[in-house]
């Protein structure tokens, strides 16, 4: 018996074809594979279908048994993917499923790998910000970087790897008789040998004096280092050129130094402005999300392979499990994965609040002190304040970092309805068209926000007992927000008019009043028994209430606000206790760092998984007789169900930029542009 694993032919007679796929299979002493040829052809096409848009050509149905001579098979329009040649299912399992005597594997020749390898250009760029600074770092990556070093530092030995070494840098192109032209009198030079470098290639870093003229002269000298006739052997064919935007990172990705989610996290780390954004970027860089996606993808491909084998070979091959068991166990796995991904997507939404900022709306009656509160929070006169009711008309949006959380606070028109339909003290005046539009926009903005601050003025009543200024329009708007599940906080302003003592004695009554006024709708975001937080503040600068350290209680209010942010953005473990494998908290907090792009693909993946579960009868409801129906009477259902798994897997491939997925190149373009 011999193993006829076919290797990539060097004297490739099909050299003009894009490349070939090889099926390697075991044969017996007579050279027989024992596989009926049509079955082999179907299997091969099934494998290739996994890669979108690939068709087999030159695969004639020879009839009878497949012979080793029937292979290789040539493929038209293959995707130029490095990992195309990877095995897509466990060959040993597939062999067992098909009842083959020897394993069956899919290969592509190494030429494909070369095709998609990064070009061998050497690239360079100023890696620190342009402008005058103490130090400027220039990075050079690629095969010619040592040759460039030798030309810039003639006669000087190569620095020890990863050891900063002081060197004078010279102009590489000088006439023989001229005195040497020094570009920088003392630069630190570092050499990083491949493969453990930022790009996976040999890399040289020049830490220059940061004067713009020095930087300019070195950047100009680098491409001149390899002028014709002076090239060393290493660099004979090298092109030296400035790096494109993101090109160092792209090389790191192609050389396996960074995963695509890590590349995204790197982009976020560089743009992070708030503490929470920084935290998120660090989580993304460390979380191993790519590995997680890849495991899920492999699991789906594997499940699909099993279903396919079931469809193709159930009639005449022996399987370890009955078809019923196989479908039920696949559906169970998929249903587990679906639950897991759902929690990830939920956490991703929370992470988006950290990344993009928490939207806050100031909702209240006219003159309640909304603009005054905004100005106190941001510490400047961002909005006009006046004693005239209806001062603010348009929405005034202000971005601010509150204790590390990026927030966008919207000050808006006060809510009132006008004399006819109202009874409150604020509603005696006419409401004009402009104000009406402002009120409409305010209600809309509150519904689009993550947190709604309901601002209510508290004033001494005629008998000295504090009263709250609430009108019908406000009550309705708050109910609307609560029904929509918005996070609500009550902020009672003008506490200074009442004073600390009166506030203390009347607080319980005021809270009860708020409860009765606003608690008519189900409190979806608070849960039963939990109350909406209430804060009393004064927007005046004096310490009439609060303390000298916290005049007006504004800091106490902000602390309350950040603890609400903490709850809003904490990673959820969902119903993880019901998952097959329980995970610890760090597993879930990693999913906060999922980017919007990743989340979109995960949502699409979930849709396909749901479609699969619906088609396969769902994990829990599969009974043996139903499965038999599926297989015997309605085989098409299993075929299309298996397709859903393929779509779901390709959504995951788009996230990592690896594996199959037709538009992966487009995905890479989008990520590296950033």
Ligand X SMILES: Nc1nc2c(ncn2[C@@H]2O[C@H](COP(=O)(O)OP(=O)(O)OP(=O)(O)O)[C@@H](O)[C@H]2O)c(=O)[nH]1
- How many residues line the site for ligand X (CB under 6 A)? 24
Least Cβ distance, residue 396 to ligand X (angstroms):
9
Decide: is 538 part of the binding site for Mg ion (CB under 5 A): no
Which residue, 258 or 457, is less far from ligand X as judged by CB? 457
Closest listed residue to residue 261, CA positions, set 597, 573, 583, 572: 597
Tokens of 208: 């220059």
- Site track for ligand X across 533-572, x = CB under 6 A: -----xxx--------------------------------
Among 125, 299, 389, 507, binds ligand X (CB under 6 A): 389
Residue recorded with tokens 């396996």: 256
Least Cβ distance, residue 463 to ligand X (angstroms):
20
Are the CB atoms for 569 and 589 separated by under 8 Å? no
Q: Which stretch binds ligand X (CB under 6 A): 200-208, 319-327, 390-398, 568-576?
A: 390-398
Could you tell me which residues come within 8 angstroms of residue 559 by beta carbon, excluding any fewer than 6 positions away? none
Q: Residues 42, 46, 49, 51: is their CA dihedral positive or negative?
A: negative
Among 122, 225, 330, 372, binds ligand X (CB under 6 A): 372
Decide: is 430 part of the binding site for ligand X (CB under 6 A): no
Which residue, 293 or 426, is less far from ligand X as judged by CB? 426
Are the CB atoms for 243 and 124 separated by under 8 Å? yes
Are the CB atoms for 425 and 461 separated by under 8 Å? no
Least Cβ distance, residue 383 to ligand X (angstroms):
7
Q: Which long-range contacts (CB under 8 A, 24 or more apart) does 337-341 make?
A: 337/296, 337/299, 337/300, 337/609, 338/606, 338/609, 338/610, 338/613, 339/574, 339/575, 339/578, 339/579, 340/296, 340/579, 341/296, 341/602, 341/605, 341/606, 341/609
Least Cβ distance, residue 470 to ligand X (angstroms):
13
Indicate the helix (H) or strand (E) that contains 241. strand 240-242
Decide: is 364 part of the binding site for ligand X (CB under 6 A): yes
| 563 contact, one of ligand X, Mg ion, none, CB 5-8 Å limit per kind | none
| Alpha-carbon gap, residue 7 to 410, rounded angstroms | 66
| Alpha-carbon gap, residue 475 to 114, rounded angstroms | 68
Least Cβ distance, residue 446 to ligand X (angstroms):
14
Could you tell me which residues come within 8 angstroms of residue 132 by beta carbon, excluding any fewer than 6 positions away? 210, 211, 212
Among 122, 141, 359, 493, binds ligand X (CB under 6 A): 493
Tokens of 530: 């939990």
Are the CB atoms for 103 and 315 separated by under 8 Å? no
Which residue, 247 or 435, is less far from ligand X as judged by CB? 435
- From residue 138, alpha-carbon distances to 171, 209, 664 in Å are 16, 11, 31
Least Cβ distance, residue 478 to Mg ion (angstroms):
18
Which parts of 344-403 interact with Mg ion (CB under 5 A)? 371, 391-392
Least Cβ distance, residue 421 to Mg ion (angstroms):
22
Decide: is 498 part of the binding site for ligand X (CB under 6 A): no
Which residue, 215 or 415, is less far from ligand X as judged by CB? 415
Which residue, 225 or 538, is less far from ligand X as judged by CB? 538
Which residue, 494 or 608, is less far from Mg ion as judged by CB? 494
Which residue, 257 or 494, is less far from ligand X as judged by CB? 494
Least Cβ distance, residue 361 to ligand X (angstroms):
13
Among 172, 210, 246, 414, binds ligand X (CB under 6 A): 414
| Alpha-carbon gap, residue 517 to 474, rounded angstroms | 10
Among 322, 391, 475, 600, binds ligand X (CB under 6 A): 391
Tokens of 598: 């990743």
Which residue, 208 or 537, is less far from ligand X as judged by CB? 537
| Alpha-carbon gap, residue 561 to 555, rounded angstroms | 10
Are the CB atoms for 95 and 104 separated by under 8 Å? yes
- Site track for Mg ion across 454-493, x = CB under 5 A: ----------------------------------------
Decide: is 497 part of the binding site for ligand X (CB under 6 A): yes
Cα 448–Cα 455–Cα 550 angle in degrees, nearest 5: 115
Least Cβ distance, residue 552 to ligand X (angstroms):
7
Least Cβ distance, residue 438 to Mg ion (angstroms):
10
Closest listed residue to residue 439, CA positions, set 396, 485, 392: 392
Among 369, 410, 466, 617, binds ligand X (CB under 6 A): 369
Contacting residues toward Mg ion, per CB under 5 A: 371, 391-392
Contacting residues toward ligand X, per CB under 6 A: 364, 366-372, 385-387, 389-392, 413-414, 493-494, 496-497, 538-540
């Amino acid at each position: 018996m011999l193993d006829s694993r076919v290797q990539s032919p060097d004297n490739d007679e099909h050299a003009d074809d894009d490349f070939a796929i090889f099926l390697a299979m075991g044969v017996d002493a007579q050279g027989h594979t024992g596989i009926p040829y049509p079955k082999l052809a179907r299997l091969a096409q099934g494998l290739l279908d996994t890669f979108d848009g690939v068709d087999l050509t030159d695969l004639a149905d020879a009839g009878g048994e497949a012979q080793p001579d029937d292979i290789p098979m040539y493929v038209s329009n293959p995707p130029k993917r490095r990992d195309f040649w990877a095995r897509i299912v466990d060959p040993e399992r597939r062999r067992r499923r098909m009842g083959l005597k020897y394993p069956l594997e899919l290969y592509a020749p190494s030429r494909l790998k070369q095709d998609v390898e990064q070009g061998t250009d050497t690239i360079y760029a100023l890696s620190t910000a342009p402008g005058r600074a103490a130090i400027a770092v220039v990075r050079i990556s690629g095969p010619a970087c040592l040759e460039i070093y030798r030309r810039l530092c003639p006669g000087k030995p190569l620095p020890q790897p990863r050891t900063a070494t002081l060197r004078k840098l010279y102009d590489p192109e000088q006439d023989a008789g001229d005195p040497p032209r020094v570009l920088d009198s003392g630069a630190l030079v570092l050499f990083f040998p491949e493969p453990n470098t930022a790009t996976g290639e040999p890399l040289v870093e020049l830490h220059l004096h940061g004067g713009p003229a020095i930087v300019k002269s070195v950047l100009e000298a680098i491409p001149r280092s390899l002028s014709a006739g002076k090239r060393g052997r290493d660099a004979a064919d090298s092109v030296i050129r400035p790096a494109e935007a993101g090109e160092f990172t792209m090389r790191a990705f192609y050389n396996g130094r960074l995963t695509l989610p890590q590349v995204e996290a790197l982009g976020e780390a560089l743009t992070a402005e708030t503490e929470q954004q920084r935290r998120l970027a660090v989580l993304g860089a460390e979380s191993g999300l790519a590995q997680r996606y890849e495991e899920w993808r492999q699991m789906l491909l594997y499940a699909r392979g099993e279903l396919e084998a079931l469809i193709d070979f159930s009639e005449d091959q022996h399987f370890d499990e009955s078809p019923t068991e196989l479908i039920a166990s696949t559906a169970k796995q998929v249903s587990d994965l679906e639950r897991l991904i759902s929690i990830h997507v939920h956490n991703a939404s929370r992470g988006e609040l950290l990344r993009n900022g928490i939207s806050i709306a100031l909702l209240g009656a006219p003159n309640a002190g909304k603009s005054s509160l905004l100005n106190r929070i941001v510490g400047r006169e961002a909005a006009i304040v006046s004693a005239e009711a209806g001062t603010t008309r348009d929405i005034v949006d202000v971005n601010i970092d509150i204790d590390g959380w990026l927030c966008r606070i919207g000050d808006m028109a006060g809510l009132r309805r006008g004399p006819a339909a109202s009874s409150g003290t604020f509603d005696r005046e006419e409401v004009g068209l402009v104000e009406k539009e402002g009120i409409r926009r305010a209600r809309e903005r509150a519904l689009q926000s993550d947190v709604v601050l309901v601002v209510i003025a508290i004033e001494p009543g005629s008998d000295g007992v504090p009263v709250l200024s609430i009108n019908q329009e406000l009550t309705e708007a708050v109910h609307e927000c609560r029904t929509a599940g918005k996070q609500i906080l009550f902020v009672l302003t003008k506490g200074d008019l009442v004073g600390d003592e009166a506030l203390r004695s009347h607080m319980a009554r005021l809270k009860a009043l708020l409860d009765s006024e606003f608690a008519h709708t189900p409190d979806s975001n608070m849960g039963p028994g939990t109350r909406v937080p209430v804060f009393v503040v004064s927007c005046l600068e004096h310490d009439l209430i609060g303390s000298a350290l916290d005049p007006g209680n504004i800091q106490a209010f902000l602390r309350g606000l950040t603890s609400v942010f903490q709850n809003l953005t904490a990673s959820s473990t969902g119903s993880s206790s019901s998952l097959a494998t329980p995970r610890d908290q760090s597993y879930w907090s990693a999913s906060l760092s999922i980017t919007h792009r990743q989340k979109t693909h995960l949502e699409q993946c979930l849709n396909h998984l749901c479609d699969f579960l619906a088609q396969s009868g769902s994990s829990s409801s599969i009974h043996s007789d139903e499965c038999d129906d599926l297989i015997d009477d309605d085989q098409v259902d299993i075929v299309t169900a298996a397709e859903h798994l393929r779509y779901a897997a390709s959504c995951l491939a788009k996230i990592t930029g690896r594996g199959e997925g037709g538009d992966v190149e487009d995905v890479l373009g989008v990520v590296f542009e950033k």
